[in-house]
């Protein structure tokens, strides 16, 4: 549901007050993208992966099983964490318009989204029997 005119004016007034009160914070918040945070988390995961590899190698070289297992666990965690953040960093942002959950994709956008294979096959199957 879109904002009313009154709510829109209040929001603009709050934004102006924020810019007037703390312009540095306001410019930082307005220029920050969610994908930037995801990229930063991926870099942290890579560092954690390297530390885990170092722990694994140190555990193998010193025959300390606990250190090797801990290094492997760090590596595994870093890979899973990086993979989960990669989708956020590489993909398009998830920008849904409020109130469009029940509408078909063609009415939400100018172009129609591609339907999944299973739905297309079911539709073709139904059309074959409807034509007879």
Residue 96 pLDDT grade (very low, low, confident, very high; cuts 50, 70, 90): low
* Residue 77 buriedness (CB in 10 A; 0-12 / 13-18 / 19+): middle
Residue 8 clears pLDDT 80, i.e. is over it: yes
Q: DSSP assignment of 104-119, as one string?
A: -HHHHSSSPPPPPHHH
Cα radius of gyration (the chain)? 25
Q: How far apart are CA 105 and CA 102, in angstroms?
A: 9
Q: What is the pLDDT of residue 2?
A: 74
Question: What does the pLDDT look like over 36-55, one tens digit per residue?
Answer: 778 888 999 999 999 999 99
- pTM comes to 0.49
């Amino acid at each position: 549901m879109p904002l009313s005119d009154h709510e829109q004016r209040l929001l603009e007034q709050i934004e102006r007050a924020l810019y007037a009160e703390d312009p540095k914070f306001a410019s930082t918040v307005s220029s920050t993208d969610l994908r930037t945070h995801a990229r930063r988390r991926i870099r942290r995961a890579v560092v954690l992966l390297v530390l885990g590899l170092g722990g694994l190698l140190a555990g193998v070289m010193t025959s300390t099983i606990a250190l090797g297992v801990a290094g492997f666990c760090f590596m595994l965690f870093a890979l899973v964490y990086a993979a989960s953040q990669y989708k956020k960093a590489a993909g398009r942002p998830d920008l849904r318009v409020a109130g469009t959950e029940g509408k078909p994709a063609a009415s939400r956008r100018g172009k129609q989204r591609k339907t999944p294979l299973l739905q297309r096959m079911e539709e073709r199957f139904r059309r074959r029997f409807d034509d007879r």
